Each structure stands twice: as structure tokens, then as C-alpha cells.
Amino acid sequence: MNIIEPTLEINNLLVIKDEKIAFNGVFKTGLNVITGDNSSGKTTILDLIAYTLGMEEIPLKAEALSCDVSYLSIKINNSNLILKREISEISRRPISIAYEEFDINKLDDYDWQTFSINRSEKISYSQMLFNLMDNSEFDLEASSTLTVHQIMRCIYAAQPYLHYPILIPALFDDSLTRKTIGEYLLGFYNNELYTKQVKLKAKIKEKTKLKAELSFLKNIFKKSFFSFKNKASAQARINKNTDMLFKLRTDLNNKQKTPKKIESENLKKIESYNKTLNTLTKEKNKFENEKNKLYLNSLDSQIFISELIDRLERLDESEYIQSISNINFEFCPACLSRLTSAASNICNLCKCESKVEADSHITPLLRMKNELLIQIEESKKINDIRDNKVKEINIKINHTNLEINSISAQLNDLTQHWSDDEKINISNISFSIGQIDTEIKEIEKLIPLYDELSDLNERIDVLDTDIDELNGSISTLEEESYKKKKDTILKLNSNLMELLKKDIPREKEFQNPRHVNISFSDNQISINNKSKFSESSMVVLRHLFHLALLKTADEIPHMRFPRFVILDGIDDGGNEPERNIRLQELILETISSLENSSQIIVGTSIKHLHKDLKPFIYNDIFNAEDKSLKI
């Protein structure tokens, strides 16, 4: 058969435990069926294929985790290579590559090159695999986001995620990531467009943060006793006060040298009151500074809380929780037959082994959500404490103002009865000197804030310009790729509609699909404006979408979808036997109609297996006594 690049094909899966073979499976071009009884380890094999290929966040079962290492012999564009990966609960384990044909007796002799899952100064595993599949995308800007794991989310229709017809959900998922996955696989990903979209998102986020800082600074100026139009006005006030201060001190010095005798007792009181007023004014300024610091810290906390809430919303968006898992079905929702009770680790509906251990009461997602909620609540409590401190400081400021007013009144009472004008002048000059000196110091504290205010405004203006330019460039690039995108989407929609029509008559939308909308961004498929269907119909829709994707990739060469899918749980969702059989027929019909090399690996129960799929069983049929992993 012809090979369209990129094409990915699995040849062998080898799993080792304690230096012994736990599984050694063979796979061929076209259709491959992994089958056996329920809870015999079919999904375990499919999970290990995906894991060894580079997928993360796979809840490997205890049997798989007890093994040591997995080897996957694959072909990329008809070139042989072998992948090796340590099996571990620790995420992001590196992957080694040997450019050899698979020979179980020579594995230790191969020249293995190890690649990190994380992107760093060295080339990562994802970058290497993208390079092997498509040389033109070696310098992919999206490679930090667009990894093999993200591609596998679309290739692998994993068993637990019935309600997600396009992509397996992921932690901290977002619409831009999902959109990029779709555009890359469908062949109209534009590296320049993606880069600009990422920059636009970052600049909008930066502008939001700067505007929050700007708002806080303006709030400080509003609450300040002084009001200046700009830094120059504030500096002019300082210069004026400095000149006035020099004159007053000179005047005071001259008056204190006059021969007139001043009563020492009153003069001491005047000096004492003035010192007290200056001390109180400094104390008041100290309280004001402390209050401003609390405001700044509060702003930082509010930004941090906003980021936590954003992460929480992204967790909600990913919808990682299987809400149906704890429902105990007494009757099948499809045929209303009574369901037999199942063991604690067996699903009440499909009778498949649960992905979550029986003694587990909380999923990783819920744990993460709980931690974020705790952080948010703790941050809010800290801000509440700050607010209370601000209230306490305001009380202290008010109390200090009362003391200042009281001392000022006493000073006024003392001086207003004096008959000697010279004494009164000395008192007034001393008080004025203290006031002006304090005012200069306070205005000097505002000067750097004017610089910061100006800097923030300039940075926001630059960001506004950048955002406008990016929006214009993005619109132009989107228009340029529109036709290519339109043709691909129309073909994919057409193929999906044709497959939906061939389903047995259970959903009227499937029988007459007038309008189909496939949205990678929303991870949703709507048919005639409807996106929610019964459990069994969601299973059918999910697998038919992957078949349509495979068929479209066979017809449109520029698609980057690697002409390879893994379909697990095709008999899930309480599907009636007739409908399940029809789905298997459509799988066989689709793979048989393809003109170019492609591969489908299907996992299904032997009890529901169509007779026409039996010739595509190339490995053992598993059962409770002879499971997939020999451990």
C-alpha cells in the first residue's frame, strides 16, 4: 500500500518484569483486535502502547505498574525504530530510541538515544518524533504545548472518557491548546499564526496586570493629602517649599538673636509642643506608609488569587471527573434489562474493571481542585487580615489626628494671649518650619510613584499597539488559511455524516445529520445543533468520529494525522448487541476502504466480537485465568 507522510504503525509491544517477558504482542498494518473476557487486561495493553509512545496522565493499573520497562517497535513513514520507556508512577519518564528492526535477543546491544519529555536546551522526545514524522515542522513553535502526549489525546479513544468525542481531557487544558491540536492534525496549523496567538494571549494578560497596578497607584494618589497634575508640579512644590524653608529658618535665626527677652517657661512649652507635633506628624506618616504597603501586598494577593481562580476554571473546563462512576444502575438505560451486581472494582454498567482503585475516594483532579480551593481561601483570609490591619491603622491615624488637633489647640491658646508679638512670631515660624519640612519629605516620597505611573502608562500604550498589530496579523493569517481549513473540515464533516447514517436507527440526528460541527476548541461535536446524546450514542459518536478522521487523512495528503487510531471500549455505554455489531462492521468497512497504509487497534470483549473481526486477532485471547500480562 501507498504511504502518506506522516504514517505511524505499531509492530510489536514487549513488556518486561523482573527480566522476564510479561507480554510480547504482534501488530500488523490495517485492523488489529485485542480481545478477551472482561477484566482480563485488554485496556492495560492499549494503555501501555499509548504510554510507551509518550502519553502522560494515563492511570496505569497495578498490574502494569508492577512491570519494569516496555518496548514498542514502530514504523514512521515506513522507517523502523524502537521506543523504550521505564514503567513508573512518576510522570514524565524519558524515552529512549533505537533506529533498529525489532529483535528481542538484541535489545541490549542497540545504540539507545534517550530523550527528555520536557523541552530544554537539548532536543526533546516530542521534537524528535515530530521531526521524524514531518521534517518541515522540526522548529515548531508550539512544541512546548504541542507534544506527543497532546497528539495521543486524539489518537487514543480511551475507555473512561465516553463524553469526550474528540480529545481525552487533560489537566490545565485550555481552548487554545485544543484548537492547536486540531489545526496541527488536520493539516492547517500555521506556525506563525500560533506564535502570534500565544504572544497576543501573553500581552493581554500582561496588560491586565499592569492596569491593576496602575489603578492601585492612582488610588494612592487619590488618598494622598497632596494633589499634583504630574511629577513636574510636585517637584515645583518641593522647590518652592525649600526656598520658603530657607527664608523661615533665616528669619527664625535672626529673631532668636534679638535682644528682647522671652519668658523661658513659655518658650520651652512652645518648643515642646512643636516637637510633639512633629513627632505626631511623623507617626501619622509612618501609619500612612504602613497602610500603603498593606494595599500593595493586598494587590499582589488579588493577582495571585486571580491566577489560582484561572487555574481552577481550566480544571473545570477540562471536566476530568467521571460523574457517572458512582451511580449504581439497577436497570440498563438502553434495553431496561436488570443488571447483576458487580464487584467493587467493576463498573456497574459496562462491567469493565474500574480505572480507579476500590479504596480510592478522591481522583487526582479533585485533589488538585481541593488544593487550589484551599490556597484561594487561605489567600482570602490573609487579605482579610490585611483589611483588618488597615482598619486598625485608620483608627490609629484618626487618634493621631485628634492628638495633633489637641496639641495645636493648646499651642494656639498659649500664643494667642501673648502681648509680645515677637514671641508669637517665633512660635509660628517654628511650627511652619516643621510643617513645611514634613510636607517636603512626603512629596519626595511621591516623586518615584510618578515615575512608576509614567512607566506603567508607557508600557500599557506599547502593549495596546502590539495587541492591535497582533490582532491585525492574526486576522490576515486566518483569512489566508481559510480555504484550506474549509475544504478539510467539509470533508471530515461529510465522512462523519456518512458513517452516522449507517448506524442502526436509534438517534434521529444520526439518521438525518443535516449539520455537523466539530469543535476541537470545545472538545465537542454537535449534530443538528445537539451535542448531548445517550451513553450508547456517545460511544458510537466517539468511535465514528475517529473513523471519519482516519478516512479523511487517507483522502487529504496534507493532513498531519498519522493514520493510526486506538479504539477502546467499543462495547461500552450499555450498547445493545445489534448496535455494537454494526459499529464493528463500520470499523472493518472503513479500514478496508482506505487506499493508503493505515492502522486501527481495537479493544473489545470476546463476548461481543463480530465473527468478521476474528481473522484480525494476532495475539492471545485473554481471560481471568490467563490475563494479558504474565506476572
Element (H, E) at 28: none
pLDDT band, residue 40 (cuts 50/70/90): very high
Which of 35-49, 88-102, 108-122, 528-542 bottoms out in mean pLDDT, i.e. has the lowest?
A: 108-122
Q: What is the Cα–Cα distance from 320 to 169, expressed in whole angstroms? A: 6
Bridge partner list, 526: 517
What is the percent of the chain with per-residue pLDDT over 90, rounded to a whole number? Answer: 43
Picking from 589, 551, 588, the residue whose alpha carbon sits closest to that of residue 4 is 551
Average pLDDT over residues 179-194: 83
Give yes or no for residue 627 having a pLDDT over 50: yes
- In the chain, count of helices (H) and strands (E)? 14, 12
Q: What is the Cα–Cα distance from 122 to 113, expressed in whole angstroms? A: 12
Picking from 103, 101, 128, the residue whose alpha carbon sits closest to that of residue 114 is 128
Q: How many CA atoms lie within 13 A of 471 on its CB side?
A: 8
Average pLDDT over residues 576-601: 96
More confident residue, 43 or 217: 43
Q: Exposure string (b/e) for 465-497, b if CB count within 10 Å is 16 or more? A: ebbeebeebbeebeeeeeeebeebbebbbbbbb
- The pLDDT value recorded for residue 113 is 95
- Look up cell 512491570; give the residue: 67
Terminal-residue alpha carbon distance, the chain: 38
More confident residue, 302 or 165: 165
pLDDT band, residue 431 (cuts 50/70/90): low
SS3 (DSSP) at 165? coil
pLDDT in tens, 439-462: 777 767 767 777 888 888 899 999
Average of per-residue pLDDT values in the chain: 83
- Look up cell 494577593; give the residue: 301
Q: Is 340 left (phi over 0), alpha (psi -120 to 50) or beta?
A: beta
Which of 333-342, 379-388, 551-560 bottoms out in mean pLDDT, i.e. has the lowest?
A: 333-342
Report the length, in residues, of the chain.
631
pLDDT in tens, 132-181: 887 454 445 544 568 899 999 999 998 878 788 999 988 778 888 898 89
Burial category of 411 from C-beta neighbours within 10 Å (exposed 0-12, middle 13-18, buried 19 and up): buried
Bridge partner list, 12: 26, 73
Give yes or no for residue 355 having a pLDDT over 50: no
* The three three-digit cell numbers of residue 542, written as one number: 466517539
Picking from 170, 136, 138, 137, the residue whose alpha carbon sits closest to that of residue 153 is 170
Bridge partner list, 82: 73, 98
Burial category of 89 from C-beta neighbours within 10 Å (exposed 0-12, middle 13-18, buried 19 and up): exposed
* The three three-digit cell numbers of residue 7, written as one number: 504514517
SS3 (DSSP) at 225? coil
Q: Are 33 and 609 spatial neighbours (Cβ–Cβ below 8 Å)?
A: yes
- Look up cell 506556525; give the residue: 191
Strands (E), 403-519: 516-519
In the 8-state DSSP scheme, what is residue 143?
Answer: G
Give yes or no for residue 502 having a pLDDT over 80: yes
Element (H, E) at 139: none
More confident residue, 162 or 318: 162
Please count the other Cβ atoms lying within 10 Å of the Cβ belonging to residue 407: 18
Picking from 71, 55, 58, 52, the residue whose alpha carbon sits closest to that of residue 147 is 55
Average pLDDT over residues 464-489: 87
Which of 1-15, 66-80, 479-493, 557-571 bottoms out in mean pLDDT, i.e. has the lowest?
A: 479-493
pLDDT in tens, 604-620: 999 889 999 999 999 99
Q: Which residues contact 192 (CB under 8 A, 6 or more apart)?
A: 477
Average pLDDT over residues 471-498: 88
- The pLDDT value recorded for residue 372 is 81
- The pLDDT value recorded for residue 515 is 95
Give yes or no for residue 356 having a pLDDT over 60: no
SS3 (DSSP) at 60? coil
* The three three-digit cell numbers of residue 609, written as one number: 466480537
What is the percent of the chain with per-residue pLDDT over 70, rounded to a whole number? Answer: 81
Give yes or no for residue 351 having a pLDDT over 70: no
SS3 (DSSP) at 191? helix
Q: Are 2 and 553 spatial neighbours (Cβ–Cβ below 8 Å)?
A: no
Give yes or no for residue 280 having a pLDDT over 90: no
Picking from 25, 26, 29, 23, the residue whose alpha carbon sits closest to that of residue 9 is 29
- The pLDDT value recorded for residue 10 is 98
Q: Are 415 and 424 spatial neighbours (Cβ–Cβ below 8 Å)?
A: yes
* The three three-digit cell numbers of residue 533, written as one number: 446524546
Q: What is the Cα–Cα distance from 183 to 492, expressed in whole angstroms? A: 13
- The pLDDT value recorded for residue 252 is 64
Element (H, E) at 83: strand 79-86
Q: Which ranges constitute the DSSP H helices of 231-263?
A: 231-256
More confident residue, 311 or 165: 165
Task: Determine phi and psi for 33, rounding to 5 degrees.
Answer: -115, 125
Per-residue DSSP letters for 508-535? HHHHS---EEEETTTTEEEETTB----H
**Strand order across the beta sheet in which 95-98 lies:** 20-26, 8-17, 69-76, 79-86, 95-98, 113-115
Burial category of 358 from C-beta neighbours within 10 Å (exposed 0-12, middle 13-18, buried 19 and up): exposed
Give yes or no for residue 417 having a pLDDT over 60: no
Q: Which residues contact 444 (CB under 8 A, 6 or more apart)?
A: 238
Q: What is the Cα–Cα distance from 495 to 422, expressed in whole angstroms? A: 103
pLDDT band, residue 324 (cuts 50/70/90): very low
- The pLDDT value recorded for residue 364 is 62
pLDDT in tens, 358-412: 444 345 666 777 788 888 888 888 988 988 898 898 898 888 888 888 887 777 7
- The pLDDT value recorded for residue 320 is 42
Q: β-pairing, 79-86 with 69-76?
A: antiparallel
